[in-house]
Structures are given as structure tokens and as C-alpha cells.
Amino acid sequence: MIMNKKHRQKLIARYLEADTTVQEEIMLAEYYRTHKAEADEADVARLILMDYPVADILSDPERKRDISYISMAITAIAACIALMVMFIIPRSGDEFTVSEIAENMNILMEMNNQDVESIVAEPQGSKVILTATLKDGNTTTFIMVRNRWDGSTRIVAQNE
């Protein structure tokens, strides 16, 4: 029926007079989405496709279900990306300030003041490597990291 140009022209005339039903407009949109508009129908085709960009998808229960699955898949992918960013990729702002590094170096010095000669800090992105040189010449390495949940600082001794 919609393939017949005379019928289509009648529908177009009614559409331009705002006298068509939503179902008729969806039929026109579906037709122009799947068929190249003839030169004398090109302007109307663009207009109807702007009014109903996804009308065919929303009118077909099978396609609507497929779109729902696609939406769920996109949501799941977005959630995975968010988790990767949260747990794997260092966030800006995770870097330690000079005062935080100095404070933690001071804590290490106070823990064993009589044995520690010096501590060197080497910032490396979201962590700081602290190397304590003991008075007997031995060294001990610590890693300073930030707790992602509450922002607190942890110092972890490296087993050498």
C-alpha cells in the first residue's frame, strides 16, 4: 500500500495538513528509512525522519527488546570502565603533597630514632618510595600509599 506512489502522496498531503495518525506517520518514516525518496518527496522524507528518527524501532516489539539488551550491555560496559578507572588507573589528586611526605618521613624516624640515620623519599605517581638508611649501613625500603576510600596514608615495609 505504502509502495504505491499515489497512496504515499495522499498520506504526504494529509501529513502536511497534520491530519495523519501516528501509525500512518510511522509507516511513512519506515518507508523513507528503507527506501530512497524520490526527488519530489525528498523534503517530506527528511521532515518525517526528523519527527520519527527511531519510530520503526519503538513500534516493533522485537526491535524494542533488542534495544533494551543493547542498553543493558552498554550500561554494563560503562560500569566496568568506571571500576577500572576507580581501581586500576591512578586518579589525579592521589599524589602526595610535600608536607604529607615529610610528616610520614618524620613518623618513620620517630619509630626507631636511635637506628635511623636518614630517610630519602622518591615520589612515583600515586605512591612514594621511602628508603631508610640505618646507622649500621643497612637500608630498609617502605612504600607510602593512599587509601582510596578514606584518603588516609599507609606505609608498607618492603621485604628485601
Distance in angstroms (rounded) separating the CA atoms of residues 83 and 91:
12
Kind and range of the H or E run holding 155: strand 153-157
The predicted structure's pLDDT at residue 57:
47
pTM: 0.41
Residues 13 and 82 in one domain: yes
- Boundary of a domain, candidates 86, 111, 135: 86
**Domain presence at residue 44:** yes
**Domain presence at residue 92:** no
Residues 59 and 102 in one domain: no
Domain housing 119: 98-157
Residues 46 and 73 in one domain: yes
**Virtual torsion, Cα 106, 112, 114, 119, nearest 10 deg:** -40
Confidence class of residue 146 from pLDDT cuts 50, 70 and 90? confident
**Domain presence at residue 124:** yes
Distance in angstroms (rounded) separating the CA atoms of residues 11 and 92:
58
The predicted structure's pLDDT at residue 109:
77
Structural domain tally of the chain?
2
Average pLDDT, the chain: 76
**Whole-number percent of the chain with pLDDT over 70:** 73
